[in-house]
Amino acid sequence: MPEGDTVWQTAKRLHTALAGEMLTVSDFRVPRYATVDLTGRTVLDVTPRGKHLLTRIEGGLTVHTHLGMEGSWKVFADQERWTGGPAHQIRVVLAAADARPGRTAVGYRLPVLDLLRTTDEHRAVGHLGPDLLGPDWAPDRALANLLADPARPLGEALLDQRNLAGIGNVYKSELCFLLRVTPWLPVGALPTVHAAQLPVLAKKLLEANRDRPIRSTTGRRGQDLFVYGRAKRPCLRCGTPIRAADQGDGSRERPTYWCPNCQAGPDPSATAARRAPRTARGPRSQDRPSTPPRTTN
């Protein structure tokens, strides 16, 4: 599931492959940009912003993408077979074939693909709160954002990218477990000591995982996560079966996991809790920006 650490890794791969190179292939496979041609322009950099990717191109242009739940960017060497999915799922291809060695970046199943002026990037990401892995990280501001709506459930507040950028369903569940509270606890009811720990712990988790191929919050080999994706399995701390439910208004899939023994606070009804949500595929693998009042979450 793409969260801030996954997006950071993706940006690093794209930057390594394309930055400083002239594009020799520019293929946008969406109707809106079907006639766009960026060949001959140099890629300046690829920058992550929360769960968003900003690929800056010579001439003051930015390719803005978001991975959503299923999207990905894959980088292939010359003559390497593309393996990110069927051809009809490709949304954009950017290649620097003159690089040594040549590299081709292929965007699959991208729910967000925009081409905008670099000076207008704020229209896509200006609504985001402090980025947990970015130079703008400000823990005090992030905490103040979270506490601004004290009645809001903690899990929902963590997913709101306007509060702080980079947390998704996995880190939401894991953070709440580490803080020993349920994701349905109102933010204002979070004990003061836990509130002070929250932004520090969130950053620590994402930083620890941004260079790892498999996300881990436990530090235990073979037991990578405390609660996420572990419905009905024993809690690693107390042995109580982990429970699962969707959180939110149902408009989006928000799989949420918690230990009913280790975590204090309210939880959903027993009926909702028995509906174990579909988990994301793979060890890693959300936020399309809504009109600013962040992918959204």
CA dihedral (84, 285, 202, 147) positive or negative: positive
Helix (H, G, I), strand (E, B) or coil at 205: helix
250 phi-psi bin (left φ>0, alpha ψ -120 to 50, beta other): left
Q: How far, rounded to the nearest angstrom, does the alpha carbon of residue 77 sit from its chain's CA centroid? A: 26
Asked whether 227 and 237 are in contact (CB, 8 A), the reply is no
Q: Angle formed by the axes of helices 192-209 and 4-18, to 10°?
A: 30
* Beta-carbon count within 10 A of 185 CB: 21
Single out the residue of 283, 154, 159, 155 nearest to residue 229, CA to CA.
Answer: 283
Pairing state between β 72-77 and 103-108: antiparallel
* Token pair listed for 218: 């436990």
Catalogue the active-site residues.
2-3, 51, 254
Cβ neighbors of 53 (< 8 A, separation 6 or more) are 7, 10, 11, 14, 46, 47, 64, 65, 66, 67, 73
CA-CA distance, 214 to 226, in Å (whole number)?
14
Strands of 25-28's sheet, edge to edge?
25-28, 90-96, 103-108, 72-77
